[in-house]
Amino acid sequence: MMAQYLEIKAAHPGSILFYRMGDFYEMFFDDAVAASSALDIALTKRGKHDGADIPMCGVPVHAAEGYFLTLIRKGFRVAVCEQLESPEEAKKRGYKSVVKRDVVRLVTPGTLTEDSLLNARQNNFLAAFGRVRDESALAWVDISTGEVRVAACPTIRLLPEVARIGPSELLVADAHLEEIETILAETDVSLTPLAASSFDSSGAEKRLTTTYGVASLDAFGGFSRTELAALGALIAYLEITQKGKLPLLRPPLRETPGQVMQIDPATRRSLELTRSMSGARSGSLLGVIDRTVTAGGGRLLEQRVSNPSCDTDLIASRLDALGHMLSNNMVTEDLRQTLRQVPDIDRALGRISLDRAGPRDLAAIRSGLTQAETLSSKPFLMDGPPSVSGLLPTLGGHGALIDLLDAALVAEPPLLARDGGFIASGYDAELDEAQTLRDEGRGVIAGMQSDYADQTGISALKIKHNNVLGYFIETTATHADKMMAPPLSETFIHRQTTANAVRFTTVELSELETKILNAGSRALEIEKRLYSTLTAEILKASGQIGETARSLAELDVITSLTVLSKEGDWCRPLVDGSRAFDITAGRHPVVEAAQRREGGAGFVANDCALAGPDDPSFIWLITGPNMAGKSTFLRQNALIAILAQIGAYVPAQKAHIGIVSSLFSRVGASDDLARGRSTFMVEMVETAAILNQADERSLVILDEIGRGTSTYDGLSIAWATLEHLHDVNKCRALFATHYHEMTALSNRMDGIDNATVAVKEWEGEVIFLYQVQRGAADRSYGVQVAKLAGLPGAVIERARIVLDMLESGERKGVAARETIIDDLPLFSATPPPAPKPAKTSEVEERLESVLPDQLTPMDALALIYELKALKEPSA
């Protein structure tokens, strides 16, 4: 056995080998050491190898899925090695034969199919990055649903594309591994290097034509060499990991640049499109707008939010669908009632194709298709616009398959095919006969028991069954003598004596037992055979079933967006080829939802009008105190653009949006210590990206640029950035700043307008009104906001004095620094400084030795911990 183990292990060096032994998967040697600590299970030992103990650990087969997932999350791969024959079969080949085993599957992050390992509402993509000379492409597949896509992808677009698609695993050629590791360092995609031959484009063409069973790939549209290389690598890897069994794959769809709104990773993060800052779905835009009731609908909506469209016709047709649904809410609710019963058809189909399914997957197909059939004849859908009625043909037409599955399957089949019991009676005569024999045999046994009781005169006699003896006759010890003496001993053969019972058999009983056993195993055989014919029938129709699943998902997204629009009183946006950005009474969907939950005062709606027909300004410079609602306003407009371009209604009274081809957002200054970059550096890197890329079709959102450095530095950078956006990028932009000095720019530049968020001052306190108005803020109210935050009264007082001095100095035209140094009565308002303690503390000594300029942010954090520790003992 160890020899077999070592041989199989040697063939799968990069993976933890799960070696099947009966009801357990066992791991040995280093695998056992690594797995036992990663899984937190006991490490034992078994036998010796080269004189040393062999470390071993194991997990029960029925619980293995959970362990796969833990290992994968911790960065391991798993090779699953199964027994390919039963121990009995092995014995037939010879007394000492080892059961045949081999690896049947490699479990990797991108190739999961089990429901328990996947998030139902999220696609799990496996991607491949192919590069031929200086061209490159990205291909990606969700093997649990069969979707395949490909797009040209220059290396510099790799990071944003990975952020957009969100694959869990990316295949790269060996030679590119290091380079790509660096590019993707900040993502959590798992990289898998493959030999260059997997990316060979001519081999790829052959692999693809074989996989899709076509003579040439032209049917799917022409693919470039690099696209072929990437697609080919996907297939090559699936062949390796699935050991020859390929999942069902839909024809590859090519995504062309310009089809979808470009959104870079930083913008995705800062706008919290599909994940909130904490990484959860809830609290993100997606989390707030998701009303879908099926897993497929949930996945489609996430794809939409990640890929807002730039196609005005497509957007309009999606909006038409919503309009139609809104015209009759009763019917829409009724449709959703039907959709709620639709199971995850895509994933059931995926498992069936990989031979990893069970009877419940067949039942899922049955009930999904049945619901689809019901929907396919709804008059309300037929009367809809093409984007609705066009779905109907793909929903119906499965009558024959539904009938077959209805006739063949019981209502609620068991999870596993192994134990049978899923084929309905009356479907197969042979099966019925075998089952009757098996079940009747059990009835005959009951009759036999009473016969024997009569014959022996022992009323307590029982016929029982266990796995060791099979069927046997049992009496209490008191009656045993009678049974073992003639004449009874001629019929009853002694088998076993236990503490308080004696067991017998008879020729008649063992013959009957054989019959029952045979009938039972024959019934199982037949069920297994029928299972294969049913799966074959399903796979034959897999293309149409996939279409049906897609239409169901679409219908789910349409009706769920309808419900959302109705709930929130959202409006249909006008999306066209203009450059308008005209929102009346817009709201922030996420902030508003949160406030509604908390029962707050109610969200204040705001207008935004950029680049209108009689409005030359395409940039708004927004000033106003902290906490006044500037960031919220900026983000809400970006989110409204996204919602409009996924084809949803928007939280506003009216919205007119000229297609936004790329969206950039730099919001809030959050420190990025873990990545070892200071806030300011991150801010500048991201600002640079925007200034280099934004064009007339972009929408740019910049919040408090330049905050991370000294006042004059910051002001000058913000100033120059705004000028560049205006003169060079010419993009639509919302620019929030606390530098009031910048409001003067609007006098000089036609494209810039000032706006401010209104506040009221009342008895020295600020009251936020959250109203965005044209014009500049009179001042920043920073001191008042600080007071709200609870800064000590003395500090607030002192700040007021400094501020007054600075402001009067400015009026007199004196530079700020001179004002403070020359005029400010330095010690008038503050208490005298405390006398220095005579002895310097350890903390002070340590501080003496610090050179702030040479500290990285990480060092600084470490230093703070150290100082805290120094202080602790004396405290």
Residues that bind ligand ADP in the complex, under the rule CB under 6 A: 591, 603-604, 624, 626-632, 770
- Of 301 and 634, the one with the shorter C-beta distance to ligand ADP is 634
Neighbours of 217 (CB within 10 A): 19
* Terminal CA-CA length for the chain: 64
- Of 180 and 608, the one with the shorter C-beta distance to ligand ADP is 608
CB of 827 to ligand ADP, least distance (A): 34
CA 699 to chain centre: 27
Residue with tokens 């199982």: 524
Identify each DSSP E strand in 315-379 by its residue range.
none
CB of 602 to ligand ADP, least distance (A): 7
DSSP annotation of 185 reads: T
Give the separation between CA 734 and CA 631, rounded to whole angstroms. Answer: 10
- Of 413 and 624, the one with the shorter C-beta distance to ligand ADP is 624
Neighbours of 537 (CB within 10 A): 16
The answer to whether the annotation marks 627 as part of a ligand binding site is yes
Q: Which residue is nearest to ligand ADP (CB)?
A: 629
User: Which residues does residue 148 pair with via DSSP β-bridges, in sequence order?
Assistant: 141
CB of 630 to ligand ADP, least distance (A): 3
- Widest Cα–Cα separation across the chain: 130
The answer to whether the annotation marks 542 as part of a ligand binding site is no
Contact 779, 739 (CB under 8 A): no
Identify each DSSP E strand in 546-631 by its residue range.
574-576, 581-586, 606-610, 619-623
CB of 757 to ligand ADP, least distance (A): 6
CB of 607 to ligand ADP, least distance (A): 11
CB of 565 to ligand ADP, least distance (A): 20
- Of 627 and 806, the one with the shorter C-beta distance to ligand ADP is 627
Query: Within 13 Å and on the Cβ side, how many CA atoms surround 852?
Result: 2
Task: Single out the residue of 689, 716, 695, 693 nearest to residue 705, CA to CA.
Answer: 716
- Of 83 and 773, the one with the shorter C-beta distance to ligand ADP is 773
Helix (H) or strand (E) holding 289: helix 285-289
Contact 85, 91 (CB under 8 A): no
The answer to whether the annotation marks 631 as part of a ligand binding site is yes
- Of 90 and 627, the one with the shorter C-beta distance to ligand ADP is 627
- Of 25 and 633, the one with the shorter C-beta distance to ligand ADP is 633
Contacting residues for 42 by C-beta, under 8 A, at least 6 apart: 36, 57
Helix (H, G, I), strand (E, B) or coil at 763: coil
Relative orientation angle of helices 359-376 and 329-339, to the nearest 10 degrees: 160
- Of 527 and 704, the one with the shorter C-beta distance to ligand ADP is 704
Contact 187, 292 (CB under 8 A): no
CB of 675 to ligand ADP, least distance (A): 23
Task: Single out the residue of 692, 673, 590, 600 nearest to residue 638, CA to CA.
Answer: 590
CB of 605 to ligand ADP, least distance (A): 7
Q: What's the token pair of residue 253?
A: 């769809």
Helix (H) or strand (E) holding 655: strand 654-658
Contact 589, 561 (CB under 8 A): no
Contact 199, 141 (CB under 8 A): no
Contact 113, 238 (CB under 8 A): no
- Of 262 and 687, the one with the shorter C-beta distance to ligand ADP is 687
- Of 631 and 698, the one with the shorter C-beta distance to ligand ADP is 631
CB of 798 to ligand ADP, least distance (A): 24
The answer to whether the annotation marks 628 as part of a ligand binding site is yes
Long-range contacts made by residues 63-70, C-beta under 8 angstroms, separation at least 24? 64/18, 64/25, 65/114, 65/116, 65/117, 66/116, 67/39, 68/107, 68/112, 68/117, 69/112, 69/116, 69/117, 70/38, 70/39
CB of 272 to ligand ADP, least distance (A): 13
- Of 561 and 759, the one with the shorter C-beta distance to ligand ADP is 759
Query: Within 13 Å and on the Cβ side, how many CA atoms surround 608?
Result: 35
- Strands 16-21, 606-610: parallel, antiparallel or unpaired by DSSP? unpaired
Helix (H, G, I), strand (E, B) or coil at 154: coil
CB of 778 to ligand ADP, least distance (A): 16
The answer to whether the annotation marks 63 as part of a ligand binding site is no
The answer to whether the annotation marks 486 as part of a ligand binding site is no
Helix (H, G, I), strand (E, B) or coil at 630: helix
CB of 720 to ligand ADP, least distance (A): 22
CB of 713 to ligand ADP, least distance (A): 21
CB of 732 to ligand ADP, least distance (A): 20
- Of 139 and 271, the one with the shorter C-beta distance to ligand ADP is 271
- Of 636 and 729, the one with the shorter C-beta distance to ligand ADP is 636
Neighbours of 548 (CB within 10 A): 27
Identify each DSSP E strand in 438-506 by its residue range.
462-466, 470-476, 493-497, 501-505
DSSP annotation of 755 reads: E
CB of 670 to ligand ADP, least distance (A): 13
The answer to whether the annotation marks 754 as part of a ligand binding site is no
Q: Identify the sign of the CA torsion 227, 141, 234, 280.
A: positive
Give the angle subtended at the CA of 806 by the CAs of 804 and 810, to the nearest 5°: 115
Phi, psi of 57 (to 5 degrees): -150, 165
Helix (H) or strand (E) holding 536: helix 507-540
- Of 35 and 591, the one with the shorter C-beta distance to ligand ADP is 591
- Of 410 and 627, the one with the shorter C-beta distance to ligand ADP is 627
Residue with tokens 């106003």: 624
The answer to whether the annotation marks 637 as part of a ligand binding site is no
Q: Which amino acids are annotated as binding site, given as ranges?
A: 624-631
Q: Which amino acids are annotated as binding site for ATP, given as ranges?
A: 624-631
